[in-house]
């Protein structure tokens, strides 16, 4: 109380800068933010490396629990992606049998060409944090209905086991097939493959799965629908609109779809072409990339369905070196996550694979470079990458109330983005992102001063702020970040260091440097 009293008198001093209007109360249009907004898609081929085969992978568990503690709910987990369409089941298999593609400099940790699994593969879900909700992908790509049926039977057997059930871990949904729109180009189907054929196949596989698992419009486990790599954003070609027009939702199996999942990457590294870090980070690019999906989201929401990005990250084919693995990508992650909520995306599942350049988390020891596949001079133990800080900041902004709403703030600056967060209708904090890339080659680091102007009535304007900063040396750094003085770059993935928070008057405003994030709490 003494500190607040002193600061109240100090508020007579004003510094002017970029004016930021902030509503004191949550606007009616502000979306409710899911506590599991930050979720993960795991490449299926090495699922047991992530979670643990016979015992828990404690590092992976810890970094998920960090986010759980900040939001009050664990991240949701989707297990699938390219390798879900290469997975087959054999009851006799005790340890996963995997055949991988050849290692290349562009893709040093390739997906599997073939995976054969048994019951133990699905039982490993018991090592996830309690109350985790899981979506599991089944093989549609090989058009083997028997394989998908056997996988489904094993999945439901695992999630009915005491070890999983007693931890509150639940099978949220089944996804049938990964990126079926690419089947006509990757050899899984003829070049004439079309939406009507996809709808027919999906319905047959979903009907079979329903009999294995008991999925229906009234069951707790649902289907994820679609999971396309891209979208025509229209009623022609592969898109949610086309699937809806083909009557998929009207079928008995289709009535059990509760969520439409689409995939999106901001660029591609599949041919080895390089990306520019500033291009990834830029505010307008993020908004343009995401807003392209607005027609899809509108069509899906009109049917009363949830809409998620079930697989996403920076650059396709596991990320671009010097871009996806850098501190600048942490700012992209944060802005991407928060802007997604503003256009109707309820959850964002960041795709992860062992050794992928764009990982938020590297959960096992690596012996070759993630950048070019060359042997490392010494093994690299499990660690988080810079993007993880973006997830931490978003999780902290969401908080544990379960009633957090957020809006994007109107900021007249091409590089500075901001979001205000409300618990119920009460303003509690804001997050600001300066996405101007300060690189190792940059001459000077610029700063922007932010002044706050509170709008609306019915609430008392705050007078005091507390500020936390994401400290970054350079946008192209790959480590050494701290959030409020604390680091997650530890051997066990848990936070360490001394918390650093600045206390000041609202009227003093805040300076934000190029390649920096600040969180401002109001009181």
Whether 2-29+403-522 shares its CATH topology with 38-398 is answered no
Classified by CATH at the fold level, domain 2-29+403-522 comes out as Immunoglobulin-like (2.60.40)
Q: What are 274-283's pLDDT values in tens digits?
A: 668 999 999 9
Q: What are 125-184's pLDDT values in tens digits?
A: 999 999 999 999 999 999 999 999 999 999 999 999 999 999 999 999 999 999 999 999
- At 272 the pLDDT is 65
Q: What are 35-46's pLDDT values in tens digits?
A: 999 999 999 999
Helix (H, G, I), strand (E, B) or coil at 239: coil
Q: What are 381-414's pLDDT values in tens digits?
A: 999 999 999 999 999 999 999 999 999 999 999 9
Q: What is the DSSP code (8-state) at residue 507?
A: G
- At 274 the pLDDT is 64
Q: What are 175-195's pLDDT values in tens digits?
A: 999 999 999 999 999 999 999
CA angle 237, 240, 241 (to 5 degrees): 70
Per-residue pLDDT at 11 exceeds 60? no
In this prediction, residue 6 has a pLDDT band, given cuts at 50, 70 and 90, of very low
Q: What are 218-259's pLDDT values in tens digits?
A: 999 999 999 999 999 999 999 999 999 999 999 999 999 999
Taking all residues of the chain, what is their mean pLDDT, rounded to a whole number? 94
Domain ranges of the chain: 2-29+403-522, 38-398
Rounded-to-integer distance, Cα 450 and Cα 465, Å: 13
- At 273 the pLDDT is 65
Mean pLDDT of 97-103: 95
- Is residue 322 within 8 Å of 476, Cβ to Cβ? yes
- Is residue 24 within 8 Å of 455, Cβ to Cβ? yes
pTM over 0.85: yes
Q: Beta 87-89 vs 112-117: how paired, if at all?
A: parallel
- Tell which phi-psi region holds residue 185, choosing left (phi > 0), alpha (psi between -120 and 50) or beta: alpha
Per-residue pLDDT at 5 exceeds 50? no
In this prediction, residue 16 has a pLDDT band, given cuts at 50, 70 and 90, of very low
Decide which of 3.20.20.80, 2.60.40.1220, 3.40.630.30, 3.90.1170.10 is the CATH code for 38-398. 3.20.20.80
Q: What is the DSSP code (8-state) at residue 408?
A: E
């Amino acid at each position: 109380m003494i500190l607040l009293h002193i600061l109240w008198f100090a508020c007579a001093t004003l510094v002017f800068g970029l004016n930021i209007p902030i509503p004191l109360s949550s606007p009616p249009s502000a979306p409710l933010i899911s506590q599991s907004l930050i979720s993960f898609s795991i490449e299926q081929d090495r699922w047991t490396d992530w979670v643990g085969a016979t015992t828990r992978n404690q590092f992976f568990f810890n970094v998920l629990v960090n986010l759980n503690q900040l939001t009050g709910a664990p991240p949701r987990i989707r297990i699938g992606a390219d390798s879900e369409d290469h997975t087959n089941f054999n009851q006799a298999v005790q340890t996963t049998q995997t055949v991988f593609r050849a290692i290349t400099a562009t893709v040093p940790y390739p997906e599997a060409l073939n995976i054969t699994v048994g019951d133990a593969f699905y039982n490993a879900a018991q090592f996830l944090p309690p109350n985790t909700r899981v979506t599991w992908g089944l093989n549609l790509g090989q058009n083997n209905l028997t394989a998908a049926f056997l996988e489904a039977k094993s999945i439901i057997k695992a999630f009915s086991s005491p070890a999983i059930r007693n931890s509150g871990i639940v099978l949220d949904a089944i996804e049938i097939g990964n990126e079926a729109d690419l089947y006509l180009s990757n050899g899984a189907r003829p070049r004439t493959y079309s939406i009507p054929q996809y709808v027919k196949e999906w319905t047959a596989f979903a009907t079979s799965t329903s009999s294995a698992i008991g999925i229906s419009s009234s069951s707790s486990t649902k289907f994820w629908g679609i999971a396309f790599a891209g979208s025509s954003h229209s009623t022609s070609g592969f898109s949610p609109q086309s699937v809806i027009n083909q009557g998929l939702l009207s079928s008995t199996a289709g009535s059990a779809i509760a969520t439409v999942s689409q995939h999106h990457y901001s660029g591609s590294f599949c041919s080895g072409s390089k990306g520019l870090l500033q291009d990834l980070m830029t505010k307008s690019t993020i908004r343009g990339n995401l807003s392209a999906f607005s027609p899809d989201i509108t069509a899906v929401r009109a049917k009363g369905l949830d809409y998620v990005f079930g697989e996403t990250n920076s650059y396709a084919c596991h990320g671009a070196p010097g871009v996806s693995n850098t501190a600048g990508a942490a700012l992209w992650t944060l802005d991407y996550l928060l802007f997604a909520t503003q256009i109707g995306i309820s959850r964002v599942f960041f795709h992860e694979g062992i050794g992928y350049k764009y990982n938020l988390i590297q959960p096992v020891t690596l012996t070759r470079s993630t950048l070019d596949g060359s042997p490392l001079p010494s093994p690299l133990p499990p660690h988080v990458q810079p993007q993880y800080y973006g997830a931490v900041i978003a999780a902290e902004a969401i908080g544990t109330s379960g009633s957090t709403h957020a809006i994007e703030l109107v900021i007249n600056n091409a590089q500075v983005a901001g979001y205000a967060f409300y618990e119920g209708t009460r303003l509690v904090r804001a997050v600001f992102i300066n996405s101007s890339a300060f690189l190792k080659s940059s001459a000077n680091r610029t700063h922007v001063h932010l002044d706050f102007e509170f709008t609306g009535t019915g609430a008392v304007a705050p007078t005091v702020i507390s500020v936390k900063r994401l400290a970054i040396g350079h946008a192209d750094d790959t480590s050494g970040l701290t959030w409020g003085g604390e680091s997650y770059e530890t051997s066990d993935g848990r936070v360490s260091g001394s918390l650093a928070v600045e206390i000041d008057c609202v009227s003093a405003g805040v300076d934000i440097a190029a390649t920096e994030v600040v969180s401002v709490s109001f009181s």
